């Protein structure tokens, strides 16, 4: 199965480091960052899970739940968590799915045979409260993820869901945003964007971030 943006994130029931998880039920009405790892007790993944644990206050601000996955079992996950907490100086406050039968890996297309027949690639999904897939990023096994980018995209998605705007390249929270081309009526523009806008080209209209 190949997931695309806008698809409903597949539900699953699977064991984890905190016991059985029914994914949609566990997610509730929150945003979710679901990310996979090739295996437990691997160096890059250890740093990534440590970073995710340290980002809990930032995820909480955005109503985001984190959940990791690898094809190892729950017992191995719990042993690995001890290493993560010791070496990364943090507390892992999110579950790690024990996808021993690779059921979830199949649902989310996390096994790429040209990389490995057995291990999940380093995939990351942002899933919104309606259970729709909003972002998919897949990294090579040797490259650690940029979690600043994950937070940036969460901010952009939540902003653009709440307001009729788009975000330019390299946008960060607080930067100016773009008025979409779909908004044409000047009276509507005045109502929606009371801070005004600049327009270096007819198709490029820049306005201050509306919720700042």
Q: Which residues pair with 133 in a beta bridge?
A: 127
CB 105 within 8 A of CB 119: no
- 197: Cα within 13 Å, side-chain hemisphere: 25
Give the C-alpha separation, 204 to 176, whole Å: 12
CB 104 within 8 A of CB 69: yes
Q: Kindly give the pairing relationship between strand 21-22 and strand 133-139.
A: unpaired
Give the C-alpha separation, 115 to 101, whole Å: 19
Give the C-alpha separation, 19 to 26, whole Å: 12
Q: Which residues are catalytic?
A: 45
- Say which DSSP state 85 is in: H
Give the C-alpha separation, 64 to 133, whole Å: 14
Backbone angles phi, psi at 67, to 5 degrees: -150, 130
- Say which DSSP state 142 is in: T
């Amino acid at each position: 199965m190949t997931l695309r943006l806008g698809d409903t994130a597949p539900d699953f029931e699977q064991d984890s480091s905190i016991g059985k998880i029914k994914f949609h039920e566990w997610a509730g009405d929150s945003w979710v960052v679901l990310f996979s790892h090739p295996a437990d007790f691997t160096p890059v993944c250890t740093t990534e899970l440590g970073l995710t644990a340290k980002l809990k206050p930032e995820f909480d601000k955005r109503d985001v739940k984190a959940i990791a996955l690898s094809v190892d079992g729950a017992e191995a996950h719990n042993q690995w968590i001890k290493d993560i907490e010791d070496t990364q100086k943090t507390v892992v406050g999110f579950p790690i799915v024990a996808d021993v039968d690779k059921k979830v890996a199949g649902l989310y297309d996390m096994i790429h045979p040209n990389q490995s027949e057995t291990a999940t690639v380093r995939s990351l999904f942002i899933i919104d409260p309606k259970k729709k897939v909003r972002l998919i990023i897949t990294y090579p096994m040797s490259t650690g993820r940029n979690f600043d980018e994950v937070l940036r995209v969460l901010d952009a998605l939540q902003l653009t869901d709440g307001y009729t705007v788009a975000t330019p390249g390299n946008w960060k929270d607080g930067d100016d945003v773009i008025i979409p081309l779909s908004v044409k009526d000047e009276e509507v523009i005045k109502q929606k964007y009371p801070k005004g806008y600049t327009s270096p080209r007819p198709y490029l209209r820049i306005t201050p971030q509306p919720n700042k």
